[in-house]
Amino acid sequence: MIRVALPAHLRTLARIGEREVSLELDGTATIAAVLDALEARYPMLRGTMRDHATRKRRAFVRFFACERDLSHDSPDDPLPAAVVSGSEPLLVVGAMAGG
Amino acid sequence: MTGVRVLVGTRKGAFVLTADGTRQEWQVSGPHFAGWEMYHLKGSPADPDRLYASQSGGWFGQVIQRSDDGGATWNPVGNEFAYDGETGTHQWYDGSQRPWEFTRVWHLEPSLTDPDVVYAGIEDAALFRTVDGGQTWQELPGLRRHESGPSWQPGAGGMCLHTIVQDPRDAARLYVAISAAGAFRTDDAGKTWRPINKGLRSEGIPDADAEVGHCVHNLAMHPDRPDVLFMQKHWDVMRSDDGGESWHDIGGNLPTDFGFPIDVHAHEPDTVYVVPIKSDSEHYPLDGSLRVYRSRTGGGEWEPLTNGLPQEHCYVNVLRDAMAVDTLDDCGIYFGTTGGQVYASADAGEHWAPIVRDLPAVLSVEVQTLP
C-alpha cells in the first residue's frame, strides 16, 4: 500500500477529506504508476499534476519522499522502498511560489 | 418576483451576488473555489440554472466547473484543451517563432440555445467548443490555422482569445477577439475565419493599418441589431455597422479612449458604456475619479456617470470581462474593479452603489436575469 499526501487545493478539488490517499498498485511502484492510479480514482485530478498529453510534470508541482526531491527523477524510476512499504508517504507538493 | 444573479470571478475565488428585481438588498456567497483564479463564469441563456466557470492557477493548471442548480453546487468537468493536429507556431516577444501552448481558459460563452454547447476562448489563442456540457472540448482549428496565425503575438497579458460574440440571427456567425491579433469572424460555424479589422488604426504596431496585429480589448453587440458592433481597442472606441467589415472611431468627447470593457444597454441599442482609463502605462481612471461614460447616440457623444462612484483617490482598473448588463425593465449595469469592488446601478447608470467593496481583484462580472 502506497500513501500519497496531496496538497489542500487538490484534496478540495477531488473532495478528499483525509490528508493522505492509500493506493494499491500492480507492478513496479513509480511516480507515473501512482499518478495513473490517482487519476483513475479521481478523474478531476487529470491535468492538475502533469500535462494531459505529454505527461510532463507541471512546473510548480513537486514530488518529495524520504526527505528527497524526486521531481527531477524519471517518473518511471522505482519509488524508495520506504514509500513502497507504506512506512513513508509520497508527498505531492505545490511549490512555494506566487500566492 | 424577478431577480438577478451576478457571477463574479476574482484572483482568489468566485462570488455569487443575488438580489430581487429592486437590486437594493444583496446576498453574497463565496468564495467558491477559494484560492484559485476565476477568469470567467457565465450562465447559459437557454437554462439559467446551468453555469460554467473557468478555474485556474499557476500550480495546478486548468479546471472547468459546471453547476446545474444555479451555483448551489458545482462539479468539475473536462479540462483537456488539446490543439487539433499540428500545433504550429506564432510570434513570440523576441520575434522568434514559438509553438502554441495551452495556458488557461479566459472566456466561456454558452450557446444561446443549447445549455450543453459552450465556446471557450483560450491562451495561447484558439477557440474550443463542447457539445456535451463540458465533458470534452474540441478545437475549431480554422481560426488558429488562418494564414496570419504565425504573425500573431501576445499582448502584455498573454496571447489570449478573450471575447466571443454570437449572432442571434445566425448560429453560424461568430465573432472573436484576440490580443494582440485583432477581431475575426466566421460565417460557417467556425470552419473558416477572416480578420475584420479594416478601419482600425494602432500606432503601436509597425503598420498602423495592418490587417492583423491590433490589440482589441472587447466587443459588444445588441441582440436586436446584430450587424452593429462596438469595440474597445487598446486605444480607441470603435463601431462597425456592417458586421465588422469596416470600423469607425466613436471616441468623440471621451477624456481618454483607452480602456478594457464595453457594453450595450439591454433595451437601447444605441446606449453604450465604457470605462475610460488614463493610458496603457497607467491603468487607472483619470484624476483618480472613477467614471463610467455613456453614449446614447451610438458613440461620439459621451456623458460621465459618477453618482455613487469614488471621485477622488481611486486608482483601480476595470478589466475587459468585468462589466455586464441585466435585462430587467430598468436596465441594470454592473462592473468590478481590480480593487475588489463590484458596483451596481439599477437605473442604467444614473446612480451607483457598491454591492461589495473588499473582494480580491475582480477579473470578470456576468449577470443573469432570473424569472
pLDDT tens-place string over residues B104-145: 999 999 999 999 999 999 999 999 999 999 999 999 999 999
Report the alpha-carbon distance of residue B277 to residue B283 in Å, rounded.
Answer: 6
Query: Could you please report the per-residue DSSP string of B5-58?
Result: EEEEEETTEEEEEEEETT--S-EEEEEESTTSEEEEEEEETTEEEEEEEEEEET
CB-based contact (8 Å) between A86 and chain B? Answer: no
- List, in order, residues 6 or more apart from B171 with CB less than 8 Å away: B111, B112, B113, B189
User: pLDDT (tens digit, 9 = 90+) per residue, B192-243?
Assistant: 999 999 999 998 888 899 999 999 999 999 999 999 999 999 999 999 999 9
Q: Give the closest-approach CA distance of B63 to chain A in angstroms.
A: 8
CA torsion through residues B67, B47, B230, B190, sign: positive
Q: What pLDDT, on the 0 to 100 scale, is given for residue B156? A: 84
Domains and CATH numbers, chain B: 38-337+344-354 (2.130.10.10)
Task: Residue B80: list chain A partners with CB under 8 A.
Answer: 46-47, 52-53
Task: Residue A95: list chain B partners with CB under 8 A.
Answer: 59
ipTM: 0.94
User: pLDDT (tens digit, 9 = 90+) per residue, B260-291?
Assistant: 999 999 999 999 999 999 999 999 999 999 99
Q: In the structure, what pLDDT confidence band is assigned to residue B1 with cuts at 50, 70 and 90?
A: low
Q: Which amino acid is at A31?
A: I
The answer to whether B160 and B122 have CB atoms below 8 angstroms apart is yes
Q: Which of B164, B222, B57, B281 is nearest to A61 (CA)?
A: B57
Output the pTM of the full model: 0.97
Q: Do A9 and B76 touch (CB under 8 A)?
A: no
Q: Which amino acid is at B66?
A: R
Report the alpha-carbon distance of residue A40 to residue A19 in Å, rounded.
Answer: 18
Q: Give the closest-approach CA distance of B241 to chain A in angstroms.
A: 43
Domain ranges in chain A? 2-94
Predicted confidence (pLDDT) at residue B317 exceeds the cutoff of 80: yes
CB-based contact (8 Å) between A49 and chain B? Answer: yes
Averaged confidence pLDDT in chain B: 97
Q: Which CATH architecture has domain A2-94?
A: Roll (3.10)
